[in-house]
Every structure is written in structure tokens, then in C-alpha cells.
Amino acid sequence: MIWLLDLDNTLAGRTDAFASWAESAIAEAGASPDVLAEILEVDQDGHGSKEALGRLLVDRLGWDDDVPGAITRFRAGIIDRVRLYDGVPELLEELRGAGHRVAVVTNGTSAQQRAKVARCGLEERVDVIVVSDEEGVAKPDPRLLEIALERLGATGADRDRVWMVGDAAHADVLAGRAAGVRTAWISHGRSWAGGDRPDVVAATTREAIGLAATLGR
């Protein structure tokens, strides 16, 4: 089997890291804890406008930073706190130990995503890491998945044995469908509301991959 795995909120808790940082930043600024909900809403689990989030932080927390400085500040806070979900290191070891090929396929800037990869020790746990900023194309464009497959030496692989696994319906699931591979969506307790369901819907990455592996046999 070949696994194309999203990074943020699939392998590593990006939203958790951001929320933890935001709580500390609010406390440090002496701002109302009620501001947290507004900050999280603008962040949109990492999919919101970075510029809008930077402006909001400057405004609500009284920072002296300009917007680019605010963006740099919250990105550093995420890196300081991000970690792999419980059980993910063991899961990746199990997959590769069983002869499966594993790639991380992530949207984001090179500096930020590579810093998360290093923080989480992912380089030694997967075969390939593909970052949208480095390739000039981002999910849901299937070309990012094709790049990963090429680097895995799996361009001609049976697409029924290739899985795109991620938490973002608008990016991961759509990219997987466009590439003609099977899809698994990590719900984190949410309900699917994106039209036709993916091949697998599960609350956690480990559960999703377990179900997908069963379907792939």
C-alpha cells in the first residue's frame, strides 16, 4: 500500500498547538480570555488568511508588530508547541515495517512546514516529504500528489492501493479524488458535509488507516 498523508491535523496537532500558543499570548498581553474564540475563528484551523489573523492579533493583543511580524510571531509559537498525535510514531513505524511506502504531502510555506517536520522528527519516519511551497502547486491540485508518487517510484501504481489521508475535505479529499486515488478523511468528531463521502471517514488517523488497510486487502 502507498500512503499519502497530510501533515497538519492529520499527523501533527497544528490546531492544538495554535490554540495553546494563543492562550499564552492572550495571557501575556493581559487581554480578555474571550478573545480566544475570535482568534480561533479567524485562524480556521490554519486555513484562514494569515494576514487577517496577523491584523487581528495586533489589534486585540496590542502588539507593536506590523502584520508580517505578527505572522512570524504566531508561526514560531506553533512550531514551539506542535507534536505528533499519540500513536502516530508507532503507526508510521508499523506501516514502513510492513513494506508500505509513506509520503507526507502538505500545503504551506517551506520554512514553516519543514520546521514542523524537524520538530516532529518526521524525516526518519517517512520515505518522502512534499511541500506545496517548494513545488509551486498546492492541494487540491492533484499534481502535488503526483509529485509524491513520482518520488516514491510509484507513478504506475494501482490507484486502488494508494490512499490520500487528511483532515481537510476541500484540500485532501478533493486532491485525492482528482488524482484517482482512494481517500480517507479524519473527522476529529466533525460530521461529513462535503457531498459524496470519502472511502473512509474516521475520528483519528490511526483509525482511518486501520480501516483503509482493511479495505485494501
- The structure's pTM equals 0.94
Structural domain range at position 184: 2-13+84-216
Which strands, in side-by-side order, build the sheet including 182-186?
128-131, 101-106, 2-5, 162-166, 182-186, 200-202
Count of domains for the chain: 2
Residues 120 and 101 reside in one and the same domain: yes
Q: What is the pLDDT of residues 170-212, one digit of tens each?
A: 999 999 999 999 999 999 999 998 788 999 999 999 999 999 9
For the stretch 127-155, pLDDT in tens is: 999 999 999 999 999 999 999 999 999 99
Close Cβ partners of 168 (under 8 Å, ≥ 6 residues apart): 6, 9, 47, 139
Mark whether 149 and 171 lie in a shared domain: yes
SS3 9: coil
pLDDT tens for 45-90 read 999 999 999 999 999 999 999 999 999 999 999 999 999 999 999 9
Asked if 59 and 110 sit in the same domain, the reply is: no
**Which band of pLDDT confidence, cut at 50, 70 and 90, is reported for residue 216?**
low
Q: Is 112 found in the same domain as 174?
A: yes
Q: Are residues 74 and 89 in the same domain?
A: no
- Whether residues 151 and 185 fall in one domain: yes
Domain match, 9 and 19 both? no
Residue 53's contacts (CB-CB under 8 Å, 6 or more residues apart) are 39, 42, 43, 70, 71, 74
Residues 8 and 26 in one domain: no
Question: How does DSSP assign 150-168, residue by residue?
Answer: HHTT-TTS-GGGEEEEES-
Q: Are residues 94 and 201 in the same domain?
A: yes
